[in-house]
């Protein structure tokens, strides 16, 4: 299956501003890209004047994510890409036999995903997690039980999140967006000594009846039986067409765009769909 990918994100930037983007497809999927997913950055006056290409540089952060830096001038900023990726077309694998690995046997670089992080208060939710999931069969089954619980107990509502909302807030408020669902599930997994990391990427609605405006998505991964597996407490079903962009301990490590000052988002458009589904490219090259 070929999946068309892209985004077109626009801002008004009132004064020169440093950005870091995590908008590249993850290096583990790079070989399947039909065209490089270059992060194009341009600036204009927003009223028809010349458009200038803004230079970018890239680095790999400590989680293996490709990060793109650029310094935006005052004006109208556009950040976009358009590419497509070969995909197996298969839903997320399900492996009920996958076992938990005790902490002493985990690889070194997996250990940080057992600890507390900005949005995942392992310390505050450990007692609750043990009460809810301590008696559940361990391994894949326990992770699935955590997803089922979060999915059943938390209500999706676009308006009911905020930048500072943590797993504990989600646990008490029981409402949020996809990142909130994943933060709570990630935290519960870590409380049970199951390594869990937050994931951001593309996820279209391939194979599901509901059609929503396309957006980036968050899910999470757990480490069982020697590898990372995708779980999604928001959708809570195997899905087709996840394209991983970045992973980290939580959304504090994974942000599509971070800027060190203020700007105003004026337009946001994401494409993630089966390529055959439309005849025209989703993102128009300017």
Q: Which stretches of the chain bind a second copy, using CB under 8 A? A: 18, 20, 59, 61-63, 67, 69, 71, 102-104, 108-109, 111-112, 114-118, 121, 123-125, 127-128, 153, 159-160, 162-164, 168, 171-174, 193, 252-253, 258, 260
Least distance from a second copy to the Cβ atom of residue 1, Å:
35
**First-to-last C-alpha distance (Å) of the chain:** 27
**Which lies closer to a second copy via its Cβ, residue 34 or residue 174?**
174
Helix H or strand E encompassing 244: strand 243-248
Shortest distance, position 118 Cβ to a second copy, whole Å: 5
Q: Considering beta carbons, is residue 83 or 263 the nearer one to a second copy?
A: 263
Q: How many angstroms separate the CA atoms of 284 and 213, rounded?
A: 17
Helix (H), strand (E) at residue 153: helix 140-153
Kindly tell me which of 86 and 173 has the beta carbon lying closer to a second copy.
173
Of 9 and 17, the one with the shorter C-beta distance to a second copy is 17
- The secondary structure of residue 107, as a DSSP letter, is -
Pairing of strands 227-231, 51-53: unpaired
Which of residues 109 and 266 has its CB atom nearest to a second copy in the complex?
109
CB 18 to a second copy: min, Å: 4
CA distance 51 to 76: 9
Triad 280, 283, 284: Cα angle to 5°: 80
> What are the residues facing 68 on neighbouring strands?
21, 58
Q: At closest approach, how far in Å is the CB of 91 from a second copy?
A: 31
Nearer to a second copy, 10 or 65 (CB): 65
Q: How far is CA 132 from the centre of its chain?
A: 26
Q: Residues 6 or more apart from 99 whose CB is under 8 A from it?
A: 138, 139, 140, 224, 225
CA distance 41 to 185: 35
Smallest separation, CB 281 to a second copy (Å): 32
Could you tell me the smallest distance in angstroms from the CB atom of residue 255 to a second copy? 8
């Amino acid at each position: 299956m070929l999946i068309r990918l892209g985004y077109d994100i626009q801002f008004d930037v009132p004064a020169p501003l440093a950005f870091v983007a995590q908008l590249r497809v993850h290096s583990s999927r790079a070989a399947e890209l039909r065209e490089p997913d270059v992060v194009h950055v341009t600036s204009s006056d927003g009223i028809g004047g010349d458009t200038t290409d803004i230079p970018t540089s890239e680095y790999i952060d400590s989680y293996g994510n490709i990060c793109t830096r650029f310094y935006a001038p005052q004006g109208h900023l556009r950040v976009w890409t358009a590419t497509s990726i070969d995909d197996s077309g298969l839903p997320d694998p399900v492996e009920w036999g996958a076992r938990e690995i005790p902490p002493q046997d985990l690889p070194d670089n997996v250990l940080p995903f057992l600890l507390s992080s900005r949005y995942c208060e392992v310390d505050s939710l450990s007692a609750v997690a043990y009460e809810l999931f301590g008696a559940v069969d361990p391994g894949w089954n326990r992770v699935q039980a955590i997803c089922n619980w979060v999915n059943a107990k938390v209500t999706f509502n676009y308006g009911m999140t905020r930048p500072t909302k943590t797993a504990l807030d989600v646990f008490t408020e029981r409402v949020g967006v996809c990142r909130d669902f994943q933060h709570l599930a990630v935290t519960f997994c870590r409380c049970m000594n199951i390594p869990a990391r937050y994931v951001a990427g593309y996820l279209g609605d391939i194979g599901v009846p509901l059609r929503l405006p396309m957006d980036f998505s968050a899910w999470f991964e757990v480490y069982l039986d020697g590898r990372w597996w995708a779980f999604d407490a928001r959708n809570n079903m195997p899905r087709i067409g996840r394209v991983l962009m970045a992973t980290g301990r939580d959304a504090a490590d994974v942000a599509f765009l971070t800027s060190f000052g203020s700007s105003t988002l004026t337009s946001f458009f994401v494409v993630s769909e089966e390529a055959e589904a439309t005849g025209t490219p989703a993102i128009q090259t300017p």
